[in-house]
């Protein structure tokens, strides 16, 4: 991700501007994805045997506040869903809640990477893990290169069946039929009949939540993030 995310986002934006009018809708979805808000998408959640995280995450679902903040938005959702001690929020004083504005307030967090740099270049999978750890979460980082399809499915399904932990994926959009660079978002549920995961995509101005085939998502996390010199992957987070 990082700079590639930024440029791909910029490219999509420019494409929108160039194709006549400015659109207030999300981009069209590839047939390989099932939109969550469709009848079929709804049915997949109803049938799901691994959807514990859906309810907690949907309570915290936010839109990333800039085009490189997918990792920050995903982290804020998970930290709030876990109920970890949050800093006071300037906006919502005296309430304490993780927001994308106060996420970098702690010195330990800024030490991992500065908000300015994340705003320009995004973050790598390792930085995502370290940023979450800096807020007191326990994090396991898995690189796509180290996890076969069966293990990928089983680790995520196991996690989605329990309420006290969460999964965030770092994947290449292009591999799942989207525009187009690296991206980060939480996973909320698994449908066993169709072998699909539900991504709660934090770039809500660009794409809605979608059900993606496990094999497609697995291939998308096994792509190389050239900024990191490693593959993308996922993190499992608990408190
Ligand atoms: Ca879970």
Residue 183 has a pLDDT of 98
Taking the C-alpha atoms of residue 111 and residue 120, their distance in angstroms, rounded to an integer, is 17
Average pLDDT for 74-92: 95
- Per annotation, catalytic residue among 9, 130, 135, 183: 183
At residue 15, does pLDDT exceed 60?
Answer: no
How far, in Å, from the CA of 60 to the mean position of ligand 1?
Answer: 14
**Cβ contact 199:185 at 8 Å:** yes
In this structure, what token pair is assigned to residue 11?
């490219």
Establish if 93 belongs to a structural domain.
no
How far, in Å, from the CA of 12 to the mean position of ligand 1?
Answer: 33
Show the domain range for 147.
Answer: 2-84+120-238
Which helix (H) or strand (E) is 188 found in, with range? strand 182-191
Residue 11 has a pLDDT of 45
At residue 148, does pLDDT exceed 70?
Answer: yes
Residue list, CB under 5 A from ion ligand 1: 53, 159, 162, 165
How far, in Å, from the CA of 18 to the mean position of ligand 1?
Answer: 42
Placement of tokens 């690189």 in the chain: 143
At residue 234, does pLDDT exceed 70?
Answer: yes
How far, in Å, from the CA of 238 to the mean position of ligand 1?
Answer: 8
Q: Establish whether 183 is a catalytic residue.
A: yes
CA distances from 87 to 18, 65, 80 (A): 42, 18, 11
Taking the C-alpha atoms of residue 104 and residue 91, their distance in angstroms, rounded to an integer, is 15
Q: What total of structural domains would you count in the chain?
A: 1
How far, in Å, from the CA of 215 to the mean position of ligand 1?
Answer: 20
Percent of the chain with pLDDT over 90: 89
In this structure, what token pair is assigned to residue 71?
């990792």
- Per annotation, catalytic residue among 9, 53, 130, 201: 201
Q: Establish whether 201 is a catalytic residue.
A: yes
Average pLDDT for 102-116: 97
At residue 21, does pLDDT exceed 80?
Answer: no
pLDDT in tens, 157-213: 999 999 999 999 999 999 999 999 999 999 999 999 999 999 999 999 999 999 999
In this structure, what token pair is assigned to residue 226?
């050239």
CA distances from 55 to 44, 48, 160, 164, 201 (A): 15, 13, 11, 12, 15
Mean pLDDT (the chain) is 92
Residue 10 has a pLDDT of 43
Q: Establish whether 135 is a catalytic residue.
A: no
How far, in Å, from the CA of 144 to the mean position of ligand 1?
Answer: 20
How far, in Å, from the CA of 179 to the mean position of ligand 1?
Answer: 28
Taking the C-alpha atoms of residue 175 and residue 164, their distance in angstroms, rounded to an integer, is 30
Taking the C-alpha atoms of residue 121 and residue 225, their distance in angstroms, rounded to an integer, is 12
Residue 213 has a pLDDT of 98
Average pLDDT for 82-102: 95
At residue 25, does pLDDT exceed 90?
Answer: no
Average pLDDT for 98-117: 97
Establish if 17 belongs to a structural domain.
yes
How far, in Å, from the CA of 57 to the mean position of ligand 1?
Answer: 10
How far, in Å, from the CA of 143 to the mean position of ligand 1?
Answer: 19
- Per annotation, catalytic residue among 53, 70, 135, 225: 70
Kindly report the pTM of this predicted structure.
Answer: 0.91
Find the CATH number of the domain harbouring 196: 3.90.70.30
Percent of the chain with pLDDT over 70: 90
Establish if 9 belongs to a structural domain.
yes
Average pLDDT for 31-50: 98
Taking the C-alpha atoms of residue 16 and residue 61, their distance in angstroms, rounded to an integer, is 26
b/e burial code for range 35-61 (CB count within 10 A of at least 16 → b): bbeeeebeebbeebebbbbbebbeebb
Three-state secondary structure call for residue 183: strand
At residue 81, does pLDDT exceed 60?
Answer: yes
Establish if 112 belongs to a structural domain.
no
Establish if 109 belongs to a structural domain.
no
């Amino acid at each position: 991700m990082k700079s590639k995310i930024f440029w791909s986002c910029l490219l999509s934006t420019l494409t929108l501007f160039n194709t006549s009018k400015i659109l207030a809708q999300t981009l069209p979805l590839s047939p390989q994805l099932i939109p969550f808000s469709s009848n079929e998408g709804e049915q997949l959640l109803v049938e799901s045997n691994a959807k514990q995280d859906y309810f907690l995450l949907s309570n915290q679902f936010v839109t990333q506040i800039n085009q490189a903040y997918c990792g920050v938005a995903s982290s804020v959702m998970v930290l709030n869903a876990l109920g970890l001690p949050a800093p006071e929020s300037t906006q919502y004083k005296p309430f304490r809640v993780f927001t994308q504005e106060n996420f970098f307030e702690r010195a330990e967090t800024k030490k991992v990477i500065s908000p300015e740099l994340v705003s320009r270049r995004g973050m790598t999978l390792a930085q995502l893990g370290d940023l979450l750890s800096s807020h007191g979460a326990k994090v396991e980082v898995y690189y796509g290169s180290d996890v076969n399809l069966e293990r990928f499915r089983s680790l995520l399904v196991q996690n989605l069946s329990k309420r006290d932990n969460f999964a965030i994926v770092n994947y290449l959009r292009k591999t799942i039929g989207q525009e187009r660079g690296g991206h980060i978002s939480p996973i909320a549920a698994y449908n066993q009949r169709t072998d699909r995961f539900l991504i709660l995509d934090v770039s809500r101005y660009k794409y809605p939540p979608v059900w993606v085939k496990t094999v497609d998502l697995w291939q998308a996390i096994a792509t190389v993030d050239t900024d990191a010199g490693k593959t993308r992957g996922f993190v499992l987070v608990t408190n």
